[in-house]
Amino acid sequence: MSDYLSTTEKETSEMLKSIGVNSIDELFDDIPRDLKLKKLNLPQGKSQQETMEIMTALSKKNKVYDVILRGAGSYDHYIPSMVKNLASRSEFITAYTPYQAEMSQGILQAIFEYQSMICNLTGMDVSNASVYNGANAAAEAMLMSTDRTRKVFITFDNIRPDTLKVLNTYAHRRGITVCVLPSKEGVCDLKALKEHLDDTSAAVYIEQPNYFGLLEDAEKIGELAHEAKAKFVMGCNPIALAIVKSPAECGADIAVGDAQPLGLPMAFGGPYVGFMACTEKEMRKMPGRIVGETTDHDGNRAYVLTLQAREQHIRREKAFSNICSNQAYCALIASMYMAAMGPSGMEEVANACVSYAHYFADALASLGFALKYNGEFFHEFVTVSTIPAEKILKALDKEGILGGLKLSDNEILWCTTETLTKADIDRAVEVIRRVK
Amino acid sequence: MKLIFEISEQGKRCATLRTPEVNHTKVGKKFARTTKLELPEVSEVDFSRHYTALSRRAFGVDNGFYPLGSCTMKYNPKINEEVAALAGFTRIHPLQPENTVQGALEVMNTLSGYLAEITGMDAVTLQPNAGAHGEYTGLLLIAAYHASRKDFKRTKVIVPDSAHGTNPASAVMAGFEIINVPSDEQKGVDLEELKKVVGDDTAALMLTNPTTLGLFEKNIKQISKIIHDAGGLLYYDGANLNAVMGVVRPGDMGFDVVHLNLHKTFSTPHGGGGPGSGPVGCKSALAQFLPDPRVEKTDKGYKFVCSKKSIGKVASFYGNFGVYVRALTYIITLGAEGIKSAAQHAVLNANYLKANIEDLYPTEKGRHCMHEFVVSMQELKDKTGVSAMDIAKTMIDRGYHPPTMYFPLIIHEALMFEPTETETKQTLDEVITALREIYDEAFKDPEYMKAAPHHAQIGRPDEVKAARQPIVRYKK
């Protein structure tokens, strides 16, 4: 057993003597005796070596696939070595939220750089230091955009299911209605949107690309939202933004999304990082930490946590959000990823994603797996076939390939990224061809 | 130091990728980005030096003493990081078939079970991403519980004036109104005041125990009775569990719902502000409302289950899984006896530090503290003009991270010290000497201290300017 304590028995008794007690138990005298626990029912502590064996054995009970053709909110991208290596410096890992600016300039500057990169990627004016994940970012945007008279948050049935579930949870106790409009041919139905927008509409939320991988006519949707004086909120895949119109170009008031594709492993769903950016007009309503630039008393450039009057530790029940800890370390990794890739690298990743997706979709089409929707897609797409999805996925699984996500008995949502090669896709196609 | 944008040179690059071997597909004109992507362009050497330089301007537990009260800055074991980086934990997709992620489900199920045992609760969800997120989730459980009993008038949550700011903020997010209740002379909840505000509109009382003053709430049994007799529930803010784990359990104190911070109590790193993890435990009457999905152990292995009465999801997928792996590694390492001894030594270290400075740094008299203690520098400020902030900034000059400042709000000129159990006696002795010298300095050269720090990365920043003329991103 190791308990990571640093004091010897001799030191412990010196300390007790210095305090003026005979035993550690005496320090717990304030606790009513009848409440005290006899013994925790947990296993005995283990040596480091044994713990490593136990945890390694657990990790081996999970199947690691050679080829991954599944996305749906979690994406397998190549993570550059220097991102993994530099991020592992323990100064980054073991620091707290940078409350003491004078000894935390490194963390503060890293967050400032992250905010700047998110602003550049989305085209928005202001980014916060991160929220929990993409779904929570959407929920925070919902709370940010609703007010006393506008309490209907409009979205469509083609956003990620988890986002919708989290929106519903957050809306329920706040008197907010999440209005889910139907999609048409996989994309947002503008006619339905037009009919539903009125003076109770707080905002319209769409995802770009949407859950089915399709690109939305975001500009048009933004225009409709603004005509009704509602806000326009876009949930975006950050890799797509390298080559797809930014939220700012589409007129968004708030841009959110999950930055997991930027250097974070799939890791069974987390930790990921929600990004959140908005126009300057919305800045003082945005939740979460924000780092700002200022000067110290000698005029040197300095970074601090700023606009804190929005936050829970100052405003308590009047705060815009309860968020305290965010996903700072994941945001650091996302910014390292963007710096390592640079603009050209980001575009290359995005282009590889799209190119492989179209190559794969064409190959599947030749096998009789028709695209369910006609719209333009990014790196995910839905196929329909007469062969049961289950059969296809099982056949791929046997070959170490994680197939797409089954959406219904004969529909599959596929995803491709730059981690694949042509040979991987050809092999998957060959396996599917043999399924009958 | 320069921003990464300021070392950027057009045409430089770092990571390179394989050229795709398939035809290039372009995004249609209607959807294509037209504005330039303004990201930094740096070489690999630039990159490595830049982030190394940033890390050298960061201060973590590995750099030195970090007594940030309420934050439990204990040592983050290296084995946790190595385990969490295993391919079997990182290279798994959250929507893989259940039979291919039995190890991940076992991690979640085992950790939930251990946390239920440590807190004395019947069921646990791991899904919330942070402590405040856990509070929010716990309060939704409480709302669902009252609603299920058609008890719709319970709209109020009672919060002591010493509570963390997240408590009232979370309760408002969960749709409740806040009733603040003052502390008594012993800095515990004032029972008479509490009796005045409880009633048939009380949904819950949120309590941290030990309190934010680092003192055990001695009247916990009476408080529990007052709340339960009124039909309310008792919520445990687990921020301070490190003081009492293995010694006394929230469930046995009468709490119905509890959130924990894996990033405080269970050694997972804070990463400069997250990711954390805020699991929520509850008594069986509330278990059916926990977020979907939960992991269940069956004859055929582990599987995800959902409940018709669940409050829904509070985060995407299953929360911060990588943090669970680290926390489980920690609990397996410590075991039953190690968990308890961690709490004991956390309390020992805090009392040792307190006993050796309290003649100069006054705190609650005549009682042992738990894992942390709060001193008031009001008297020193009256005499010398040196404030709690000035002391904190002087500590920076000596290479120590300051304690939490100006919290809880009920103590004037507050400094809250939490040394944690992993701190060495040698360091504590050095800190004691330093704090005693700093106290003397306040009388000798108060002006010098008011201008501290003198040897840090920067002097005191102009926070007013930052808020009035916000510059929150780099612009060319």
Query: Could you report the per-residue pLDDT of A171-230, keeping only the tens digit for each?
Result: 999 999 999 999 999 999 999 999 999 999 999 999 999 999 999 999 999 999 999 999
Spell out, as residue ranges, where chain A has pLDDT lower than 50. Answer: none
Query: What is the Cα–Cα distance from A361 to A397, expressed in whole angstroms?
Result: 19
B221 touches chain A (CB under 8 A): yes
Helix (H, G, I), strand (E, B) or coil at B227: helix
Tell me whether residues A325 and B273 touch, CB distance under 8 A.
yes
B6 touches chain A (CB under 8 A): no
* Cα separations in angstroms, A126 against A195, A279, B475: 32, 6, 12
Order of strands across the sheet that contains A274-278? A126-127, A274-278, A254-258, A231-236, A201-208, A152-156, A177-181
Tell me whether residues B321 and A268 touch, CB distance under 8 A.
yes
Pairing of β B233-237 and β B257-259: parallel
pLDDT of residue A318: 83
Tell me whether residues B3 and A112 touch, CB distance under 8 A.
yes
Query: What is the Cα–Cα distance from A157 to A179, expressed in whole angstroms?
Result: 10
A394 touches chain B (CB under 8 A): no
CB-CB neighbours of B190 under 10 Å: 18
Residue A360's closest chain B neighbor by CA?
B22
What is the 3 state secondary structure string of A32-73?
CHHHECCCCCCCECCCHHHHHHHHHHHHHCECCCCEECCCCC
Tell me whether residues A322 and B135 touch, CB distance under 8 A.
yes
pLDDT of residue A230: 98
B270 vs chain A: nearest CA distance in angstroms? 5
- Choose among B125, B100, B123: nearest CA to B318: B125
pLDDT of residue A310: 78
* Cα separations in angstroms, A340 against A116, A260, A433, B14, B38: 15, 15, 39, 5, 13
- Tens place of pLDDT per residue across chain B (476 aa): 999 999 999 999 998 899 999 999 999 999 999 999 999 999 999 999 999 999 999 999 999 999 999 999 999 999 999 999 999 999 999 999 999 999 999 999 999 999 999 999 999 999 999 999 999 999 999 999 999 999 999 999 999 999 999 999 999 999 999 999 999 988 899 999 999 999 999 999 999 999 999 999 999 999 999 999 999 999 999 999 999 999 999 999 999 999 999 999 999 999 999 999 999 999 999 999 999 999 999 999 999 999 999 999 999 999 999 999 999 999 999 999 999 999 999 999 999 999 999 999 999 999 999 999 999 999 999 999 999 999 999 999 999 999 999 999 899 999 999 999 999 999 999 999 999 999 999 999 999 999 999 999 999 999 999 999 999 999 98
Q: Which of A51, A89, A402 sits opposite B329 (nearest CB)?
A: A51
CATH number for region A82-336: 3.40.640.10
Q: Which DSSP helix (H) or strand (E) runs through B208?
A: strand B202-208
Tell me whether residues A1 and B328 touch, CB distance under 8 A.
no
* Cα separations in angstroms, B390 against B58, B354, B393, B467: 21, 20, 5, 22
Contact residues on chain B for A304, CB-CB shorter than 8 A: 461, 463, 466
**CATH 3.40.640.10 domain position(s) in chain A:** 82-336
A62 touches chain B (CB under 8 A): yes
Contact residues on chain B for A400, CB-CB shorter than 8 A: none
A10 vs chain B: nearest CA distance in angstroms? 11
A303 and A112 in contact (C-beta within 8 Å)? yes
pLDDT of residue A311: 80
- Choose among B160, B211, B206, B215: nearest CA to B183: B160
Contact residues on chain B for A265, CB-CB shorter than 8 A: 90-91
Helix (H, G, I), strand (E, B) or coil at A250: coil
A380 and A419 in contact (C-beta within 8 Å)? no
B129 vs chain A: nearest CA distance in angstroms? 6
Residue B340 sits at φ, ψ, to 5 deg, of: -65, -40
Contacts 24+ apart (CB under 8 A), A144-147: A144/A254, A144/A278, A144/A282, A144/A285, A144/A286, A144/A287, A144/A320, A145/A202, A145/A203, A145/A230, A145/A231, A145/A233, A145/A253, A145/A254, A146/A174, A146/A176, A146/A202, A146/A203, A147/A202
Query: What is the Cα–Cα distance from A179 to A14, expressed in whole angstroms?
Result: 66
Strand partners, B235: B206, B257
Query: Which string of DSSP letters, residue by residue, matches B401-412?
Result: ---EES-STTST
Tell me whether residues B316 and A30 touch, CB distance under 8 A.
no
Query: What is the Cα–Cα distance from A417 to A404, expressed in whole angstroms?
Result: 12
- Choose among A230, A173, A224, A178: nearest CA to A200: A230
Query: What is the Cα–Cα distance from A74 to A268, expressed in whole angstroms?
Result: 9
Strand partners, A203: A153, A231
Interface test with B, best of A36, A40, A75, A207 (most B CBs within 10 A): A40
Tell me whether residues B336 and A347 touch, CB distance under 8 A.
no
Residues contacting residue B150 through CB under 8 Å, at least 6 positions apart: none
Tell me whether residues A342 and B41 touch, CB distance under 8 A.
yes
| A-contacting residues in B 268-327 (Cβ below 8 Å) | 269-276, 291-292, 311-323, 325
**CATH 3.90.1150.10 domain position(s) in chain A:** 67-78+342-434
Domains and their CATH numbers in chain B = 1-19+32-57 (no CATH), 79-334 (3.40.640.10), 337-450 (3.90.1150.10)
Give the DSSP letter of residue A31: S
Tokens of A209: 């690309």
A195 vs chain B: nearest CA distance in angstroms? 25
CATH top class, domain A67-78+342-434: alpha beta
pLDDT of residue A1: 61
A-B Cβ pairs (cutoff 8 Å, strict) = 700
The residue length of chain A stands at 436
Interface test with A, best of B44, B290, B333 (most A CBs within 10 A): B333
Strand partners, A184: A187
Tell me whether residues A169 and B140 touch, CB distance under 8 A.
yes
Strand partners, A156: A181
What pTM, to 2 d.p., does this model score?
0.98
Q: Extract the runs of DSSP E, i.e. beta strands, from A327-398.
A: 370-371, 380-384
Contact residues on chain B for A27, CB-CB shorter than 8 A: 344, 347-348, 351, 368, 370
